Amino acid sequence: MIGQRNALLLIDMQYDFCHRDGTLYVPGAENDVVRTAGFIRNNKNVMERIILTMDFHQVTDISHPVFWADREGRHP
């Protein structure tokens, strides 16, 4: 093996999922945030990078109501 590298990939660790007031809150996620912070603290010397992803939807995203209409053209 030529030079080992370590990275941490965090997927969608954001307010809406991890905070009790978030619109898509996942029960218990705040505990995951605490554990993740501890993991980073304990392993910061061996991680080359931390990569974060973020879920978001632009106004032009198909999941927005503007893309959906009933027979009368009304949007949900």
In order of 19, 20, 31, 39, 69, the CA distances from 25 in angstroms are: 6, 6, 12, 22, 28
Predicted confidence at residue 60, as pLDDT, reads 72
Name residue 10's beta-bridge partners: 52
The residue with greater pLDDT, 5 or 48, is 48
- How much is the mean pLDDT over the chain? 87
Give the tens place of pLDDT for each residue, 65-75: 777 888 888 87
Give the tens place of pLDDT for each residue, 19-39: 999 988 999 999 999 999 999
Predicted confidence at residue 1, as pLDDT, reads 52
The 3-class SS string of the chain reads CCCCCCEEEECCCCHHHHCCCCCCCCCCHHHHHHHHHHHHHHHCCCCCEEEECCCCCCCCCCCCHHHCCCCCCCCC
